[in-house]
Amino acid sequence: MDRIRVLLAAHGEAESPGFKENFDVSRRTLAHAAEVMHLPTPLRLAICTLGGLRKRVKGGDGSPHNANTRQQVAALQSALDQQGGEDYRVEAAFASSPPYLENVIDLPAGMDRQLFISMIPTDSRLSCGLVCHALDSSADSTCTRSTVLARMWEDPALTAIHRDHVRSHFPAVSNASPCCLVLVLHGTVVRDRNGGPPGFHAGVEEKAVYGEALRDALMDVEDRPWDRVELAYLNHGVGGQWSSPTLDERMKQLADEGVRSVVAYPCEHLVDGGETTGLPGVLAATGVPETHCLPCLNSASPFIDYLAARIRAAEAAGIAGCCTPCPLRA
């Protein structure tokens, strides 16, 4: 029986409101971005300092992102164990918080091979690309016995899981109000500071395909309680021109059009974290009278079963090498 290590490679967020932890998470996030964008060191330090101070002054709880990822790890381990067969060991690794991805990238002794699953469903240099680049700098033996499973953005099976998740969690809304379902994605750089295309694989096409496929699937739902489905983006606004429309822009448009009810679903966040837990407040501050926010997939059984099926399929296909075919290596 082969021993296979499975790492869920997630972003990672601060688990407390402490200044140092939030500063360090922001510093690492911006350091990754600075590898492909022009982000001067003074700007990065200012962003990290202000962000850390804001979290410290605000207080309260930290982000549930890492804890939710660890729950996914436990659920996936249980699902793989119940199915039997290979001996799997499931772990979490994060780009911006401990345990850091690059520190755990090497294949441990006693393991035959390992699979990485990028927990950002749209591929880019700053999602699954972080895994690929970390593997490129690892030992040859690790690289040749590691596989990165990505390309969730084009998988109809994941689209169907999202669709059913939205249907089962959709709240009761006012029957008299036109209702819009807003799919919230994480934005990316679409133009650099000079107005040209980004100088790295930014995932623009992947986000478009991913969002539109889910939009079409949701509009095909019979007896749906929503009248329309729109896309919106959460942006950071550094390094160039980002995706549009932003969530604020979309909400203003809907309010101006007389939409009375909006339900937001952060479909590109596979676990709830700092950005998604803050969405209800963002929505409530807009001009739309009635707003709701749906939970992420988190450890929902259909999603965990989906991840387990991808792992089993990769093993059955005998996928080897650093990555499955992807645009980053085309």
- Express each pLDDT in 206-233 by its tens digit: 999 999 999 999 999 999 999 999 999 9
Apex 239 CA angle, 237 and 240, nearest 5: 75
Alpha-carbon distance of 214 to 160, in angstroms, equals: 8
Residue 199 and residue 287 in one domain: yes
Q: Which residues share a beta bridge with 147?
A: 115
Residue 96 and residue 190 in one domain: no
Residue 254 and residue 319 in one domain: no
- Domain range spanning residue 108? 3-13+63-154+301-329
Residue 169 and residue 288 in one domain: yes
- Express each pLDDT in 53-67 by its tens digit: 988 888 888 999 999
Residue 201 and residue 248 in one domain: yes
Apex 238 CA angle, 235 and 243, nearest 5: 35
- Express each pLDDT in 296-314 by its tens digit: 999 999 999 999 999 999 8
Across the beta sheet with 290-293, the strand order is 228-234, 179-186, 261-265, 290-293
Residue 146 and residue 172 in one domain: no
Residue 162 and residue 288 in one domain: yes
Higher pLDDT, 144 or 101: 101
Residue 210 Cα distances to 1, 69, 205, angstroms: 37, 22, 9
Apex 37 CA angle, 31 and 43, nearest 5: 60
Per-residue pLDDT at 330? 41
CATH code (residue 134): 3.40.50.1400
Residue 190 and residue 280 in one domain: yes
Q: Which residues of 12-51 are buried (b: 16+ CB within 10 A; e: fewer)?
A: bbbbebebebbbbbbbbbbebbbebbebeeeebeebbeeb
Residue 150 and residue 207 in one domain: no
Residue 271 and residue 165 in one domain: yes
Confidence of residue 320 (pLDDT cuts 50, 70, 90): low
Residue 91 and residue 203 in one domain: no
CA dihedral 306, 312, 317, 319 (to 10 degrees): 90
Count of domains for the chain: 3
